[in-house]
Structure 1
Amino acid sequence: MKSKDMKELTSLISKLRKIQRTLIYKHTQLKTIYEDDKHKHLMMILLEECSQTDDIFDAESQFSDVNFEEFNRGGDFTGLKSISTVRWNCVFKLAQVHLNHIGSIKKCLEELEEYDLILTKQDSILLGGVVELLDVFNVFTTYIQGNDFPTLNSLVLFYSEIKDRLETIHLMTTDDLIEKAADILLTNLNRRMPLPMEAIASALLDPSTQHLKIINEWLNLEGYSKVEVIETVAQSMKINIHETISEAPILDDRDTTVQPKSLREKLLAKHINMIHGSSNLEQELELFAQKKEIPACVLSFWRQNESSFPKMSAVAKVILGIPATTAKSESAFSIAGCLIQRRRASIEPMRAEKTLFIHDNYDLFNF
């Protein structure tokens, strides 16, 4: 995205910031615009949201001092972060508030006689495009923030969703700038959000994601089969799937209870596998492909079906425990920073570790 396009975008964001501050500074006057309770309530919501988003930004506008003459990256898109410290989710929140209350904001600006701040038709179109574009990534971050332990299998699902929505925006948008942005994001999606083999393997081990179209596309592009992916990941993680004890698989999906086996049956299953023959990874994958359920917890699914898929479960135990992002680790370091301060510099490492453990697992304690 060239400097001209960036200037148009940052000009819109700067305008939104000015609108936001105008509404906050004139909030006492704006409360008297509407007489009925319904519109008064909507006005209070608008002012509250403006106040919340204002806290995100610094006191001075961070978009007013951008020197676009010096901003020359050969026409490549590098994002707002390269020219401003404001993150995309802050811009998304700011734009979303204005889009949701665009009619009320226009009326407020007319009442205040701030006609130069009223968004033009082109500004409104660009604003809608910005919200739609950034909402693509907001869905993923919302899931990550709301999930205590997001694992690798979720990456493939959200990669598919992000790619599909970007393609839709690229085809349907009427704004040239948003079309360019969507095209650049699609072009760089694999570089900025690569799908490692471990993510593909974890998606294959989840009955709810194993049939995603993106998996077959990845396999065809990289030249792997499903069996090769599982075996390669198992080898890289030093998981021995060739010496797993094969027990009789539960072929009937309706029988979800694990029946206790006698010592004789266990020995027969271990040494000669006379009941259903020896299990191999390819057979397990074929049987697993028939699973159409969407388990609430994939780890609970493997706990119940471990005996049916001994080789796959050996890999699933390891790979489905890998977090999808470093958000949880970063949160732990942040909390540790609040705990270990100058006034508590002498706290023992073990005591600090136990305190952090209790903090992260407080909801599991039954006092």
Structure 2
Amino acid sequence: MPSPVWSFFTVAENDNAFAICNACSLRIPRGGKRSSSFNTSNLISHLKSRHRGEEVLKEYEAAAAAASTSSETNAVTKGRKSDVTILQSFEKSRPFARDNEKTKAINGKVMEFIALGDQPFSVVEEPSFRSLLAHLEPRYTLPSRRFFSDVSLPALYDVVATHIHSLIDQNGLHISFTTDIWTSDVSPVSMLSLTAQWLDEDFNLQQAMLHAQECPGSHTAAMICQAFNTMLAHWNITKDQVHVVLRDNARNMIKAMEECGLASLGCVAHTLQLAVNEAVLSQRSIADCVAISRKIVGHFKHSNVATSRLRNLQKQLGMKEARLQQDVATRWNSTFYMLTSLLQQKRALAAYAVDFDLPAFLSPNQWALIENMLTILDPCEQLTKNMSSATATAADVIPSIEALKRLLNKTVATDHGIKTSKSMLLQAVEQRFSHISTESVCFLATVLDPRYKDCFFDQATKKEAMEVLTAKMRSQTENEPEPHEKRTRTDDNNNNTSLQKMYEEILHENATNELNHSQADQQIQAYLSEPTIPRSESPLDYWRSNKIRFPQLALLARKYLSSPCTSVDSERLFSAAANVIDEKRNRLGCEKAEMLLFVKKNLPLVPSPRI
């Protein structure tokens, strides 16, 4: 900071070794010839001796006093900042306390990492993981694996469960479920699943996993029924709230739902698989083709040399490099994918067989049979995909099966060699899905889907569907609570004794019923008279926009369009379970495994912050 004396002097232009006094214009030496020896002592002495008693000296003394005070203040402030910095340095070197908010936040993120990433609890003991956290936050102390398994996981589970409870309480008027039983390959553990989905008031689809609990002993209908009652009670879900349960076609599961008094529906994908297996894949000529195909794929699957040779041939022939797919005997569509991959690599396989040995090979007739067979399996595979999508509902079942039956009824050029299989597949589909036209879960959902309405019914089914829908709407309207009416004091006093009041009640009841019935019929007729929307559009978007126009129909749509048509949600859950209970965690208890699955599936539904 420059000296205040320079407010009263100016450096000489021709020689900077001198300063000119602004008051008397006298040249005053600055203390030497070099800039390193310059000072302000001569300048101050000049003011005190030459301008004593003058205003100039008084101004200088005032400026000097002010500058001295400012300098002292800056020095004190600088010292305080230095003290604060030292205290902060000491504080930053101290580890976080266990109850520190930062510690809690990091613990929560580590627990989420374990649950969402399918990590074993032992990951917190890995030196590399501990080194990473120490580098990111040196003050954080990573707890033991027992802390995360016994403290952090239950705490996170409770947070998520509380949120799911609130969602069900707020919007779970009618809930649809899926269930299945899974047995681990690496541990003697069986689990019973329960997933739920429903539509909220704005027709947004809500999905949650509720249980994947241990299912010990024999899987009898009585045991499954008892487990279901316990699971529903745990979530305070009454049986009136249960719209339908999607299950497999096992007898014990069907009987269990009957004993529980719950409406249930067989998984469409499972039912279609049974039809394909018994009508197509069980045929001798086709079964032989499948057996040979498995041998060919197995040859390449178990030999890196053979795989490398096939890849080189694909390059030479200008074909896209692709691996042959192995099928799973219990999944017909995996057999479809295997045969498709073989057909795509037919040229490469023929070239391979010229120079190298294959355990088996398909004849020209068998190649033709496979190609024709895939033409009837392709729509079945496409239907399975559509039915297994997250947006598929029970409304898609009848239209999809009707479309498949019509396709199988058509005669085309590719029927050569597979007419019997095609005919048997049609019979199997008709037999196994004969009940869907009488399932209210399916035909009411179809009518309430604006993409289909009643277009896929014959006249008899249309009439029955309209009668059931009308009855449902009238029952729904009659069960709605009466709006509260203001009454005079006279009405209150004579509520039970006025004859006139009885007349009014009878007239009001009958007039209301007639009006409600008329409104129900009008809504149905108005809804059905409008054209269907394209299949690419969402029925939920339609009802979100039209729930005010058709209020009673919208309530029914919210119920019936909540139902899925497959138990794929439970199967996907158990695919995740296979990652939780794997070879690294084959001793993990079912209770902990269920918590991990619950958190993994439902944590994205919980808004942040979670812990």
TM-score, with length taken from structure 2:
0.41
Whether contact under 8 Å (2:451, 2:533) holds in the other structure is yes
Higher strand share: 2
1:228 pairs with 2:467: yes
Change over 3 Å in CA distance of 1:344–1:101 after alignment to 2:
closer
1:155 pairs with 2:435: no
1:88 pairs with 2:88: no
Q: Which amino acid aligns with 1:106?
A: A
Give the Cα separation in 2 of the matches to 1:160 and 1:337. 36
Change over 3 Å in CA distance of 1:94–1:330 after alignment to 2:
closer
Secondary structure of 1:127 counterpart: helix
What displacement does 1:166 show? 1.6
Q: Once the two structures are superposed, what CA deviation does each residue of 1:195-222 show, in whole Å capped at 9, x if it has no partner?
A: 223211111111111153x32x2x52x5
Choose from 388, 396, 406 the match for 1:164. Answer: 406
Choose from 277, 289, 300 the match for 1:12. Answer: 289
1:359 pairs with 2:601: yes
Map of 1:327 onto structure 2? 568
Query: Highest CA radius of gyration, 1 or 2?
Result: 2
Q: Which amino acid aligns with 2:477?
A: I
Secondary structure of 1:302 counterpart: helix
Map of 1:268 onto structure 2? none
1:144 pairs with 2:387: yes
Change over 3 Å in CA distance of 1:315–1:200 after alignment to 2:
same
Give the Cα separation in 2 of the matches to 1:164 and 1:360. 41
What displacement does 1:28 show? 2.9
Give the Cα separation in 2 of the matches to 1:2 and 1:279. 49
Q: Once the two structures are superposed, what CA deviation does each residue of 1:260-309 show, in whole Å capped at 9, x if it has no partner?
A: xxxxxxxxxxxx99xx9985222212211214323733223222211211
Which consecutive residues of structure 2, in runs of 5 or more, have no partner in the other structure?
Answer: 1-277, 482-510
Map of 1:305 onto structure 2? 546
Choose from 180, 201, 206 the match for 2:420. Answer: 180
Change over 3 Å in CA distance of 1:282–1:166 after alignment to 2:
same
Whether contact under 8 Å (1:153, 1:200) holds in the other structure is yes
Change over 3 Å in CA distance of 1:180–1:241 after alignment to 2:
farther
Change over 3 Å in CA distance of 1:124–1:151 after alignment to 2:
same
1:241 pairs with 2:477: yes
Q: Which amino acid aligns with 1:280?
A: Q
Alignment of 1:188-207 (within 5 A): 188-193=428-433, 194-195=435-436, 196-207=439-450
Q: Which amino acid aligns with 2:288?
A: S
Change over 3 Å in CA distance of 1:103–1:359 after alignment to 2:
same
Choose from 101, 116, 132 the match for 2:345. Answer: 101
Whether contact under 8 Å (1:173, 1:179) holds in the other structure is no
Q: Once the two structures are superposed, what CA deviation does each residue of 1:306-365 show, in whole Å capped at 9, x if it has no partner?
A: 12112211211111111212221343355457557764427479x828x52552463886
Identical amino acids, percent of aligned pairs: 16
Secondary structure of 1:224 counterpart: helix
Secondary structure of 2:397 counterpart: helix
What displacement does 1:91 show? 1.5
Give the Cα separation in 1 of the matches to 2:592 and 2:518. 51
Which consecutive residues of structure 1, in runs of 5 or more, have no partner in the other structure?
Answer: 58-84, 246-271
* Residues matched between the structures, number: 290
Give the Cα separation in 2 of the matches to 1:360 and 1:131. 39
Give the Cα separation in 2 of the matches to 1:297 and 1:232. 26
Give the Cα separation in 1 of the matches to 2:382 and 2:577. 28
CA RMSD in angstroms comes to: 3.8
Whether contact under 8 Å (1:244, 1:311) holds in the other structure is no
What displacement does 1:117 show? 4.5
Moved more, 326-335 or 86-95: 326-335
Secondary structure of 2:423 counterpart: helix
Map of 2:354 onto structure 1? 110
1:30 pairs with 2:310: yes
Give the Cα separation in 1 of the matches to 2:532 and 2:312. 57
Give the Cα separation in 2 of the matches to 1:189 and 1:316. 27
Secondary structure of 2:477 counterpart: coil
Q: Which amino acid aligns with 1:161?
A: A
Give the Cα separation in 2 of the matches to 1:223 and 1:291. 16
1:135 pairs with 2:135: no
Secondary structure of 2:555 counterpart: helix
Give the Cα separation in 1 of the matches to 2:350 and 2:298. 14
TM-score, with length taken from structure 1:
0.66
What displacement does 1:130 show? 2.1
Change over 3 Å in CA distance of 1:155–1:309 after alignment to 2:
same
Secondary structure of 2:476 counterpart: coil
